[in-house]
A and B are shown apart, each in its own frame.
Chain A
Amino acid sequence: DQQVKQNSPSLSVQEGRISILNCDYTNSMFDYFLWYKKYPAEGPTFLISISSIKDKNEDGRFTVFLNKSAKHLSLHIVPSQPGDSAVYFCAAPGGRDDKIIFGKGTRLHILP
């Protein structure tokens, strides 16, 4: 039972354009969401989060939007840069015993 879903395994975006990464969840009890970025051969690093009391959180080029009624969140990166090429994971704490549950990730390729 996959409670956090990232349905796009990969995404290619032209440099300078907007990258939009999507994430869906099934558990309406989730009230906090996290995005992680992972380069090859490195551990994931925390990128940005959002609490369910908000519908938007912005940090520089990164903005996360939350649509609670649709159980959907998205990460927007604008403008996209070559260094943004990585795998992005969506996650939510709140599984059994507050376990943090990760999606399978979306590989973002920024094209020159």
Chain B
Amino acid sequence: NAGVMQNPRHLVRRRGQEARLRCSPMKGHSHVYWYRQLPEEGLKFMVYLQKENIIDESGMPKERFSAEFPKEGPSILRIQQVVRGDSAAYFCASSSPGHPNTEAFFGQGTRLTVV
């Protein structure tokens, strides 16, 4: 039973390029969360998705950032025209429906470096 898989583990982009981060949830999980961790800071919620739906994107910057979780395939976090301030570790977590006793399981993260 594979855990949450994120790829790539490390991603280097030049300013202005696009970054695409992928997250394959655990088998049977239909809920995906994306979090960002800046250096010396905690986890900052970005977006919460269920299959084909964005449920809560209150933590997403209004511009350049988008997320999707299609019916088939991984969830994608897309950052257009990256800037140095986007350099951070991005973590994906997945959970299954089953309120209230639901744990989320995290991937190992993608470390984005913008040069």
* A→B interface (CB under 8 Å): 31-32, 34, 36, 41-46, 49, 51, 87, 89, 91, 93-105
Contacts of B45 in A (CB 8 A): 99, 101-102
Known: A93-B99, A94-B100, A97-B48. A102 touches B56 (CB 8 A): no
Chain A CB within 8 A of B69 CB: no
Are A32 and B101 interface neighbours, CB within 8 A? yes
Across the interface, do B102 and A43 meet the contact criterion of CB distance under 8 Å? no
Closest 10 A/B residue pairs (Cβ):
A43-B106, A104-B42, A105-B42, A32-B100, A97-B55, A44-B106, A99-B48, A98-B99, A43-B108, A46-B103
20 contacts between A and B (CB under 8 A): A31-B100, A34-B104, A43-B93, A43-B107, A46-B104, A49-B101, A49-B103, A87-B42, A93-B95, A93-B100, A93-B102, A95-B56, A98-B99, A98-B102, A99-B55, A100-B93, A100-B102, A100-B104, A101-B45, A104-B43
Q: How many residues from B make CB contacts under 8 Å with A?
A: 30
A20 to B99 alpha-carbon distance, docked (Å): 28
Given contacts A43-B91, A45-B106, contact A99 B56 (CB under 8 A): yes
Residue interface mask B31-67, A partner, CB < 8 A = 1: 1010100000111010010100001100000000000
> Chain B interface mostly helix, strand, loop or mixed?
strand
Query: By the criterion CB–CB under 8 Å, are B111 and A41 in contact?
Result: yes
Chain B residues within 8 Å of A, Cβ to Cβ: 4, 6, 31, 33, 35, 41-43, 45, 48, 50, 55-56, 89, 91, 93, 95, 97, 99-109, 111
Query: Cα distance A94–B61 when bound, in Å?
Result: 23
- B89 cross-chain contacts in A, Cβ below 8 A: 41
Bound-complex Cα distance A36 to B89 (A)? 17
Q: A42-B109, A43-B93, A94-B99 are in contact. List 11 more A-B contacts (CB 8 A).
A: A41-B109, A43-B4, A49-B101, A51-B100, A95-B56, A98-B100, A99-B33, A100-B102, A102-B43, A103-B42, A104-B41
